[in-house]
Chain A
Amino acid sequence: MNDKVIIIEELKKNYYLGKVTVEALRGISFTIKDGEFVSIMGPSGSGKSTLMHIIGCLDYPTSGKYLLAGQDITRLNDSQLALFRNQKIGFVFQQFNLLPRTTNLKNVELPLIYSGVSPRKREIMAKGALDEVGLGDRIRHRPGEISGGQRQRVAIARALVNHPSIILADEPTGNLDSKTGLDIMRIIQRLHEEGNTIILVTHEHDIAHFAKRIIHLKDGLIDRDEVIA
């Protein structure tokens, strides 16, 4: 039981747009083990963004069960959910989502600020994370002063810094050229080899194949759960 970091059963999510009900997820079940590297694939409208938001504790499902690290998140309130995002999940976004007027170091420190780590310890941990992605010499720069690839590496450092249960990467290479994208994927792969659980949401075939398992979504349902040898 303990090795299953994510358990999802019959997960449904409806959006209500006026009188129209949009069924984004229509009953999805799967589990992810600790240390796994899973890609979630599907065309746009397949529900993969919705699924990612729920896995990332940014949104509640309409019905079904979602256990993250043994905790049923549907029973948590807003504030507990925020704590879960802070402690259990590291986000890597397509648009990097760094604070533009803040130095890279401060950007990486952000999750630690909200978990109440002391300033000195924060700086040491953030520097360590930036070293890990090879940006130890760019800590005083701002996101606007570095390249796209470097920005995504800062974002990865930020996702790592709190030692989360899962790293959730949403189209991490979507805004990068293919060479830089490959560099980023190599870093993500290395993180997986170091024991991190990684969930990668993408619609690109090549990128999805860095994972050991691909969950294909279609029209809010799991189309195929493919294990790559």
Chain B
Amino acid sequence: MILQSLKIALESLWANKMRSILSMLGIMIGVGAVIAIVSVGTGSTQSVTSSIANLGSNMITVYPRTPRGQLGRISGGGSHEKFTLELAEYIEKFCPSVKRVIPTKSANGLFIFDDMNINGTLLGTDMGYLEVNNYSVDTGRFINEQDNQKRAQVMVLGSDLATDLFDEKNPIGQRVKMNYDGRIYMFEIIGVMERKGSSIAGRLDEQAYIPLSVAMDKITSSRYVSSYIAQALSSEKASNAVKEIENFLIKLLDDENQEKFRLMSQDEILDTVSSVTQTMSLMLGGIAAISLLVGGIGIMNIMLVSVTERTREIGIRKALGAKNRHILFQFLMESLSLSSFGGFIGVGFGWMGAYSLSQYGNWPLVISNISIILAFGFALLIGIFFGLYPAMKAAKLNPVDALRYE
């Protein structure tokens, strides 16, 4: 009987093509929107997540906090003077989840080449910087152990800085002047880094890298570093590493309220980003679900009109022996076919929308089966729910009245 009802329903929908398409439109758009939005949400999250992970593997950055004071006195909150090279070794030693700690010393100065002057950041560091930042050299080489020991005045340029200073020329082997605090230093360019973008360690492409020893002893004449970049043993151990470093520094610096240092980890940023995108896709998904609901109400409208319009047909069918449940199933099948066809086409629309948006936004196309099943299932449910009332109304019609209906 259900098969027969389905056939009758399909014939009637086919006979009213335009009306059928119009009533499917709401469901089509709703299902399409749900699928596209969920796909955009997951796709963009994935792309952001992977680009953040790409910035550095399991990286934790430790900064000293700026000292705070009142009435012109520094109240002793600062900890610059605790951030020594030795402390890096201690952290490495006493925090089992930490693989290594790279000290860095940064200084702002003026880069001078020919008639080109550019303000930029100089970052003193060592070989390990590449690994923790998941960073590599494009041409030439990076600073090595010998450079640090010999305090060689060599420099590796970030990709943007290299093009700013040298344009199309090959920078390798060129000499750049560096003006820091009124003094001029000469550096030989030994390498150019790959393009990287920004990370919690700064705008890598706009920095220049020099041996840590040169930055500390020659340029700033300081025993203290600007920050530590710690690398956890693995991404699973990253949160452990954060806790260990925190506890270690709290004890060492006698700093219960963490006023003297600041930790930033990759995980923290990932959490923030994914919670933001999740909220976004939840909100958009909600809007899409509402449009699905509106689509369902559209189907109910059309079905109610259709029942009224076909009162006579219902009367004829009943006179010829259709039972109430025949009529009920016929109309229920109609709304169900409308919503499932609409849902089916909507899945196609959603796929196309998700695809073109992912091309536009440059993130991977991710369409989860769950979102398809959910959107399609919801559409079917809506078809049954909103089809039931008109179908029951049709089934309950009195045959005599229905036959008289003009």
> Residues on A close to B: CB < 8 A?
53, 56, 58-59, 78-79, 82-83, 85-87, 91, 93, 97-99, 101-102, 106, 110-111, 113-116, 158, 162
Nearest to B316 among chain A residues (CB) is: A97
How many angstroms between the C-alpha atoms of A56 and B320 in the bound complex? 10
How many angstroms between the C-alpha atoms of A83 and B326 in the bound complex? 12
- Find B321's partner among A53, A59, A83 (CB 8 Å cutoff): A83
- Find B323's partner among A53, A82, A98, A162 (CB 8 Å cutoff): A82
Does B324 sit at the interface, judged by CB under 8 A? Answer: yes
Residues of A within 8 A of B11 (CB): 101-102, 106
**Contact A85 B320, beta carbon cutoff 8 Å:** yes
Residues of A within 8 A of B320 (CB): 85-86, 91, 110-111, 114, 158
Min CB–CB distance B184 → chain A (angstroms): 93
- Find B400's partner among A53, A91, A113 (CB 8 Å cutoff): A53
How many angstroms between the C-alpha atoms of A87 and B320 in the bound complex? 9
Min CB–CB distance B203 → chain A (angstroms): 69
Min CB–CB distance A56 → chain B (angstroms): 7
Given A101-B12, A113-B4, A114-B322, decide whether A58 and B399 contact each other with a Cβ distance below 8 A.
yes
How many angstroms between the C-alpha atoms of A115 and B4 in the bound complex? 12
Nearest to B322 among chain A residues (CB) is: A114
Min CB–CB distance B122 → chain A (angstroms): 82
Nearest to A50 among chain B residues (CB) is: B400
Does B18 sit at the interface, judged by CB under 8 A? Answer: no
**Contact B321 A97, beta carbon cutoff 8 Å:** no
Task: Tally B residues with Cβ within 8 Å of A.
Answer: 24
Min CB–CB distance B91 → chain A (angstroms): 82
Does B312 sit at the interface, judged by CB under 8 A? Answer: yes
Shortest 8 CB-CB distances between A and B: which pairs?
Answer: A86-B321, A101-B15, A114-B321, A82-B323, A111-B320, A58-B399, A97-B316, A79-B323
**Contact B321 A58, beta carbon cutoff 8 Å:** no
Nearest to B327 among chain A residues (CB) is: A82
**Contact A91 B324, beta carbon cutoff 8 Å:** no
1/0 per position for B315-352, CB-CB distance to A under 8 A?
A: 11111111111100000000000000000000000000
Residues of B within 8 A of A101 (CB): 11-12, 15-16
Write 15 A-B pairs (CB below 8 A) sorted by A numbering. A56-B319, A58-B403, A79-B325, A82-B318, A82-B322, A85-B320, A91-B320, A106-B11, A110-B316, A111-B321, A113-B4, A113-B8, A114-B322, A115-B321, A162-B321
Does B217 sit at the interface, judged by CB under 8 A? Answer: no
How many angstroms between the C-alpha atoms of A106 and B16 in the bound complex? 17
**Contact B319 A79, beta carbon cutoff 8 Å:** no
Nearest to B312 among chain A residues (CB) is: A97
Add 20 more A-B contacts to A85-B318, A113-B8, A114-B317 (CB < 8 A). A56-B319, A58-B400, A59-B400, A78-B324, A82-B318, A82-B321, A82-B322, A82-B324, A85-B321, A91-B320, A97-B312, A97-B315, A99-B313, A99-B316, A101-B16, A110-B316, A110-B320, A111-B321, A113-B4, A158-B320
Min CB–CB distance A159 → chain B (angstroms): 9
**Contact A97 B319, beta carbon cutoff 8 Å:** yes
Residues of A within 8 A of B317 (CB): 110, 114
Min CB–CB distance A174 → chain B (angstroms): 14
Among B312, B315, B320, the one with the most A-chain Cβ atoms within 10 Å of its Cβ is B320
How many angstroms between the C-alpha atoms of A86 and B326 in the bound complex? 13
Interface of B: prevailing SS: helix
Min CB–CB distance B330 → chain A (angstroms): 11
Min CB–CB distance B132 → chain A (angstroms): 73
Q: Which of B349-404 contact A (CB under 8 A)?
A: 399-400, 403
**Contact B399 A87, beta carbon cutoff 8 Å:** no
How many angstroms between the C-alpha atoms of A87 and B323 in the bound complex? 13
Q: Which of B3-17 contact A (CB under 8 A)?
A: 4, 8, 11-12, 15-16
- Find B403's partner among A97, A106, A111 (CB 8 Å cutoff): A97
How many angstroms between the C-alpha atoms of A173 and B347 in the bound complex? 53
Residues of A within 8 A of B318 (CB): 58, 82, 85
How many angstroms between the C-alpha atoms of A101 and B400 in the bound complex? 22
How many angstroms between the C-alpha atoms of A94 and B324 in the bound complex? 25
Min CB–CB distance B18 → chain A (angstroms): 13
Min CB–CB distance A126 → chain B (angstroms): 13
Residues of A within 8 A of B4 (CB): 113
How many angstroms between the C-alpha atoms of A112 and B181 in the bound complex? 101
**Contact B321 A87, beta carbon cutoff 8 Å:** yes
How many angstroms between the C-alpha atoms of A87 and B321 in the bound complex? 8
Among A82, A85, A97, A162, the one with the most B-chain Cβ atoms within 10 Å of its Cβ is A82
How many angstroms between the C-alpha atoms of A102 and B320 in the bound complex? 15
How many angstroms between the C-alpha atoms of A76 and B271 in the bound complex? 69
**Contact A79 B324, beta carbon cutoff 8 Å:** yes
How many angstroms between the C-alpha atoms of A121 and B105 in the bound complex? 93
1/0 per position for B54-77, CB-CB distance to A under 8 A?
A: 000000000000000000000000
How many angstroms between the C-alpha atoms of A97 and B326 in the bound complex? 19
Nearest to B396 among chain A residues (CB) is: A78
How many angstroms between the C-alpha atoms of A72 and B15 in the bound complex? 40
Q: Which of B283-325 contact A (CB under 8 A)?
A: 312-313, 315-325
Residues of A within 8 A of B1 (CB): 116
Residues of A within 8 A of B316 (CB): 97-99, 110
**Contact B403 A114, beta carbon cutoff 8 Å:** no
**Contact A85 B400, beta carbon cutoff 8 Å:** no
Nearest to B1 among chain A residues (CB) is: A116
Among A59, A85, A87, the one with the most B-chain Cβ atoms within 10 Å of its Cβ is A85
Q: Which of B86-141 contact A (CB under 8 A)?
A: none
Min CB–CB distance B237 → chain A (angstroms): 69
How many angstroms between the C-alpha atoms of A12 and B315 in the bound complex? 24
How many angstroms between the C-alpha atoms of A98 and B320 in the bound complex? 11
